Amino acid sequence: MIELDPARDAPLYEQLYTALADEIRTGQRKPGQALPGRRTMAAQLGVSVNTVDTAYQMLAAEGLAEARPRSGFYVQKTYGMLHSRTVRPVPPAPAAPAGPLPRYDLSTGSVDTGLFPARSWGRLQRDLLYQRPELLQRGEMQGDAPLRAQIAAYLSAYRGVDCTPEQIVVGAGIEYLLGCLAHLFAGQTAAVENPGYTRTRTVLQNNGIPCVLVDIDRDGLPADALEQSGAGLCYLTPSHHFPTGVTMPAPRRAQLLAWATARPGRYILEDDYDSEFRYDTRPLPSLQGMAGPDGPVVYLTTFSKSLAPGIRIACMVLPQSLLPRYRRDFAAYANTVSRFEQQTLCEFMAGGYFARHLARMRLVYKRRMETFAAALRGALPGVRLQRVHSGLHFLLTLPGAGGEEAMVRTAAREGVRLRGLREYYLARPELCPPDTVVAGYAALQEEDIPAVAAALARAWVR
């Protein structure tokens, strides 16, 4: 029996509504069943007819009950039917790594954010919040113009990218930008590097672009194999192939550009994901710069590694030939990056913070790589380290340690998390060089390096 309490905060009609709604939801009142007449109910509960009527109207308004003219209120027929659907328990979100967290993480995604100038970033951002209220309003679809100008200047100076700010599109991560590109390239097939980024293939396929795998050779993706693949689109990491670390030499770049220019509609997607970090010579300029502002290259890069993974800013440079269609088809879209973060990055670049931060990180990572490499060579007799001079990871080969899988397993047992090179082969794993793992050192603290080397020695050296 329903109890109403005038002493409670909620008005009586609300209390009645809630009680009846519960009875309907729990099935105590069946679909199609009549609710008591308003007078009857009012008398039973000792409340006014208005109170009951309001509660009934609320039930009707919410689709729990329906009013039938000259007849009264009935529990909504379709309601029970809908709720009779068996409600499966929600599967928990997939937990990150299985088992206990590793003491030392050598996986490639990680970045050392301990040196991020959070105070400068925070001050710039706060000032914008207080002084630039107009940033609360919607901004430009491709990203705010001042930020695009900063990015264009930076990419031209550091990456040899040849473009104007009008060609730049700022977006909340490479996945989102690849999704936009997938629309522009609908109907095409994309060649992706094997081994390579699983993620890229997933994103392209999720967006309706079928992918064919092309095996790389020692110079990266071969132009003749690309030609034979029949693909019209090609995803590349020429500056620093993921995960093998190969830097594509100039002649191979020229061949691939020749492939792209040989037929209209062919394009190369150049992912320049971690080219900021190269320690021997100055990095090779981008393929995009070689191809020119209307060349057949879409340049993609992210700030996740140069700033922090938690700040979601990436960008792409569209060839002039793709701009009109992009602008037509995406005119209704709002940009996906908060304007405060766009403008904070803009000031961060304009104020020279970004260049200083990058220069600093380059030194830190270089020293870290050198210390780590030395420690590994000391602890692991016969170890071979490849492609140490760029990016934030290198290849580690150690014959006689039981093979790749055993190396990963025994390292994990010693608290070191890393992945085997074979895991990055999307096909034909037999092409994978043996006894090789991928060692990312970006998040590795210098003081931990001896311990990591020792742990790997315990794991791998008999």
Residues 110-149 that bind a second copy (CB under 8 A): 110-111, 113-114, 116, 118-119, 121-122, 125-126, 129-130, 133, 135-142, 145
Asked if 77 interacts with a second copy (CB under 8 A), we say yes
Binding flags for a second copy, 46-65, as an x/- string (CB under 8 A): --------------xxxx--
Cβ nearer to a second copy, comparing 144 with 414 = 144
Give the binding range for a second copy (CB under 8 A) out of 41-49, 200-208, 225-233, 376-384.
200-208
Cβ nearer to a second copy, comparing 23 with 294 = 294
Asked if 81 interacts with a second copy (CB under 8 A), we say yes
Asked if 101 interacts with a second copy (CB under 8 A), we say no
Dist. CA 238–CA 297, nearest whole Å: 12
Place of tokens 């473009």: 163
Cβ nearer to a second copy, comparing 258 with 454 = 258
Asked if 292 interacts with a second copy (CB under 8 A), we say yes
Least separation in angstroms between CB 427 and a second copy: 17
Cβ nearer to a second copy, comparing 181 with 453 = 181
Q: Cα angle vertex 368, ends 365, 373, to 5°?
A: 125
Residue count, binding to a second copy (CB under 8 A)? 105
Please report, as residue ranges, which positions from 387 to 426 form the binding site for a second copy (by CB under 8 A): none
Q: From the list 220, 222, 293, 391, which residue makes contact with a second copy (rule: CB under 8 A)?
A: 293
Asked if 202 interacts with a second copy (CB under 8 A), we say yes
Dist. CA 295–CA 30, nearest whole Å: 68
Give the binding range for a second copy (CB under 8 A) out of 165-173, 225-233, 367-375, 415-423.
165-173
Asked if 304 interacts with a second copy (CB under 8 A), we say yes
Least separation in angstroms between CB 398 and a second copy: 29
Cβ nearer to a second copy, comparing 171 with 401 = 171
Cβ nearer to a second copy, comparing 46 with 208 = 208
SS (H, E, C) the chain: CCCCCCCCCCCHHHHHHHHHHHHHHCCCCCCCCECCCHHHHHHHHCCCHHHHHHHHHHHHHCCCEEEECCCEEEECHHHHHHHCCCCCCCCCCCCCCCCCCCCEECCCCCCCCCCCCHHHHHHHHHHHHHHCHHHHCCCCCCCCHHHHHHHHHHHHHHHCCCCCHHHEEEECCHHHHHHHHHHHCCCCCEEEEECCCHHHHHHHHHCCCCEEEEECECCECCHHHHHHHCCCEEEECCCCCCCCCCCCCHHHHHHHHHHHHHCCCCEEEEECCCCCCECCCCCCCCHHHHHCCCCCEEEEEECCCCCCCCCCCEEEECCHHHHHHHHHHCCCCCCCCCHHHHHHHHHHHHCCHHHHHHHHHHHHHHHHHHHHHHHHHHHCCCCEEECCCECCEEEEECCCCCCHHHHHHHHHHCCEECEEHHHHCCCCHHHCCCCEEEEECCCCCHHHHHHHHHHHHHHHCC
Please report, as residue ranges, which positions from 322 to 361 form the binding site for a second copy (by CB under 8 A): 323-324, 327, 329-341
Dist. CA 62–CA 45, nearest whole Å: 23
Asked if 76 interacts with a second copy (CB under 8 A), we say yes
Q: From the list 11, 107, 146, 183, which residue makes contact with a second copy (rule: CB under 8 A)?
A: 183
Cβ nearer to a second copy, comparing 119 with 218 = 119
Cβ nearer to a second copy, comparing 1 with 101 = 101
Q: From the list 11, 179, 415, 450, which residue makes contact with a second copy (rule: CB under 8 A)?
A: 179
Cβ nearer to a second copy, comparing 284 with 361 = 284
Least separation in angstroms between CB 116 and a second copy: 6
Cβ nearer to a second copy, comparing 320 with 371 = 320
Cβ nearer to a second copy, comparing 286 with 436 = 286
Q: From the list 16, 35, 190, 291, which residue makes contact with a second copy (rule: CB under 8 A)?
A: 291
Q: Output the CA torsion sign for 235, 239, 245, 249.
A: positive
Asked if 284 interacts with a second copy (CB under 8 A), we say yes
Contact yes or no for 184/208 (Cβ under 8 A) = no
Q: Within 10 A of 345 (CB to CB), how many other CB atoms are there?
A: 26
Please report, as residue ranges, which positions from 234 to 253 form the binding site for a second copy (by CB under 8 A): 250-251, 253
Give the binding range for a second copy (CB under 8 A) out of 83-91, 348-356, 382-390, 428-436.
83-91
